[in-house]
Structure 1
Amino acid sequence: MLKKISAKNIKELRNKTGAGMTDCKKALEASEGQIDIAIEALRKKGLASADKKSNRLAAEGLIESYIHAGSRIGVLIEINCETDFVSRQPKFHQLAKDIAMQIAACQSVVYVFKSDIPDDIINYEQGLELQKEDLLNKPIEIKNKIANGRLDKRLKELSLMDQNFIKKTEITIEELVKQHIALWGENIKIRRFERFLLGEGLESKNNNFKDEVSNMIQDKS
């Protein structure tokens, strides 16, 4: 006989996971009212279907910021979800904050996905790898294999989703996002980000100004 599940317990589980009312009720019934077990069951169920949700429209969400200690590095990130219910969840805000912090810590990261990297960047990096001295005298097949392996590693360094999560290094940012897709049962997308470094670009601008002044002086002499 199934244990009777109260509306209060269903609401509590929904607030903790963001899952649908029916799914929450079924999970609680299967776990005989044990919320922790129900949460884990919902997460496992969601992880199995996370990839299926990746193409669903995510038009809600938030823009989050992270300023590193000393206020010399800052990050703005836009992260999207499907409903304002999820966007209001403290765990969603924490996810955005954690990813913004990751971006601040990983200075080599420029793109969200590896697939976002332009072809000219890929070709440039591939050319650099093929020209490295330790590959010059190797047979072409071995040379290409090694270069492609190194290229893939380099492209992952540029991609946010391929980074190991600094708070839990056994998972990547992509896996972290999928865990949250499983938690709430809806698509989550990191849309864009911008990193700000204090004083970035000032030196080059200053040099350009010096050159302009120098040319003006030469023209007048």
Structure 2
Amino acid sequence: MSTTPSNTPISASDVKKLRDETGAGMMDCKRALTECGGDVDAAKDLLRTWGLAGVEKRKSRTASEGVVTSYLHEVGGLPPKVGVLLELDTETDFVAKTPDVRQLARNLAMHVAAMEPRWVSRQDVPEDFLESERKIVAASDEVARKPENIRDKIIEGKVSSVLSGKGGVLLEQPYVKDESGKKKVSEVVAEVAAAMKENLVVRRFARFRVGEEE
């Protein structure tokens, strides 16, 4: 099976077919097809190696069990100044007790301590915040110099960059323990969900810093 990226055009129908057959996300299906030169069967195998096949289908299942974990950030033996509580939900109590899920929850709490996200997912971001960011970007000289027909796309791209940065959306941030800096938190959660064959949901978190106002 070749995984060398190809210039073969990828049709929307092939992407849809692969998603319907594997349950993986649209962008992951397109990437797999691109790397496999449009070969649907090879792309299926590649998605399995990535641990993504079936993840989207599992998202519809209820996650009513789970684990709450805590993390205290200490530096140089001094008392902790930053603390995090994070809830990671699973479908069954059995999976919630597994070392992989417990370690994921702790790693995510460490990520929250470092990257200071304000929201779990983009759906949690208030619309007034998004509108404010769009206005700020739209007023910039960089956007004003661009052709009018592409400004909206540029604005949305800039807003997405804000949301994936420090202080943004947890699931869209680059995972701090990934040295390549290319893997998002959502992808890490999806990989563990695929290994567990269960839906995993980051339900909520709280980050505290000494002396910081709520």
The reply to whether TM is greater than 0.5 is: yes
1:1-221 equivalences under 5 Å are 44=49, 47-70=52-75, 71-107=80-116, 109-157=117-165, 158-168=168-178, 169-201=181-213
The aligned residue for residue 217 of structure 1 is none
Once the two structures are TM-superposed, the CA of residue 98 in structure 1 deviates from its matched residue by 0.1
Once the two structures are TM-superposed, the CA of residue 153 in structure 1 deviates from its matched residue by 1.3
Once the two structures are TM-superposed, the CA of residue 138 in structure 1 deviates from its matched residue by 4.0
| Identity in percent | 35
Query: 2: distance between equivalents of 1:53 and 1:62?
Result: 19
Asked if structure 1 preserves the Cα contact closer than 8 Å seen for 2:118 and 2:170, the reply is yes
Asked if structure 2 preserves the Cα contact closer than 8 Å seen for 1:111 and 1:117, the reply is yes
Q: Which amino acid aligns with 2:105?
A: A
Asked if structure 1 preserves the Cα contact closer than 8 Å seen for 2:163 and 2:172, the reply is no
Asked if structure 2 preserves the Cα contact closer than 8 Å seen for 1:65 and 1:76, the reply is yes
Asked if structure 2 preserves the Cα contact closer than 8 Å seen for 1:45 and 1:182, the reply is no
Which structure has the highest helix share of the two? 1
Asked if structure 1 preserves the Cα contact closer than 8 Å seen for 2:112 and 2:170, the reply is yes
Once the two structures are TM-superposed, the CA of residue 87 in structure 1 deviates from its matched residue by 1.0
Query: 1: distance between equivalents of 2:134 and 2:142?
Result: 15
TM-score between both structures, scaled by the size of structure 1: 0.67
Asked if structure 1 preserves the Cα contact closer than 8 Å seen for 2:164 and 2:174, the reply is no
SS of the aligned residue for 1:97 comes to helix
Which structure has the larger Rg over C-alpha atoms? Answer: 1
Distance 1:137 1:185, change over 3 A: closer
Once the two structures are TM-superposed, the CA of residue 148 in structure 1 deviates from its matched residue by 2.1
Query: 2: distance between equivalents of 1:96 and 1:103?
Result: 11
More off after superposition, 166-175 vs 48-57? 166-175
Once the two structures are TM-superposed, the CA of residue 46 in structure 1 deviates from its matched residue by 5.6
Structure ranking higher on relative contact order (CA contacts 8 Å, 6+ apart):
1
Asked if structure 2 preserves the Cα contact closer than 8 Å seen for 1:79 and 1:96, the reply is yes
Q: Which amino acid aligns with 1:161?
A: L
Query: 2: distance between equivalents of 1:98 and 1:86?
Result: 17
Once the two structures are TM-superposed, the CA of residue 120 in structure 1 deviates from its matched residue by 0.8
SS of the aligned residue for 1:124 comes to helix
Query: 2: distance between equivalents of 1:53 and 1:162?
Result: 19
Asked if structure 2 preserves the Cα contact closer than 8 Å seen for 1:113 and 1:159, the reply is yes
TM-score between both structures, scaled by the size of structure 2: 0.69
SS of the aligned residue for 2:68 comes to strand
Distance 1:177 1:132, change over 3 A: same
Q: How many residues align?
A: 160
Query: 1: distance between equivalents of 2:142 and 2:199?
Result: 44
Query: 2: distance between equivalents of 1:44 and 1:53?
Result: 18
Query: 2: distance between equivalents of 1:172 and 1:135?
Result: 27
Asked if structure 2 preserves the Cα contact closer than 8 Å seen for 1:46 and 1:185, the reply is no
